[in-house]
Amino acid sequence: MEIYDRGELIRKLRTERKITQKQLADQLGVSEATVCKYENNTSIPPFETLRSIASIFNASMDTLCGMKHQGTLSTHGLTEAQTETVKALVDAYRIKNAQTGRQLTQEQFAVLGKITAELTK
């Protein structure tokens, strides 16, 4: 199982370049609300939109599609019960962050990664 947060990556790329959601929406030809949905993972960008996002931010499609392991967790080697525990932790982080209007941060992914690594020992 791979846990990947595309919305957080899009938000990170956008904010690093000091681009507003409105500006990104205009470049993509979508509404600001749509960009917000992409960043909150309530909507998945179509393939062509992902290509445009990759082009705008000079990012690879592999990165945007979670093929690189930056910001991902692997549960390879975990038992089913351990995998369910990791999933529950991720869900808890996401629920907590949804209440505050944020997504999982890289630091939170790192903590979850450490927990996963400990479970595989």
CA dihedral 82, 11, 61, 23 (to 10 degrees): 160
Task: Report the pLDDT value the prediction gives residue 18, as an integer from 0 to 100.
Answer: 92
pLDDT tens digits for range 98-107: 777 666 677 7
Give whichever of 57-61, 66-70, 80-84 has the largest mean pLDDT: 80-84
pTM score of the predicted model: 0.55
Separation CA 88–CA 31 (nearest Å): 33
CA dihedral 91, 16, 38, 100 (to 10 degrees): 40
Q: Where are the domains of the chain?
A: 2-64, 72-119
pLDDT tens digits for range 28-64: 999 999 999 999 989 999 999 999 998 888 788 888 8
Please state which CATH number belongs to domain 2-64.
Answer: 1.10.260.40
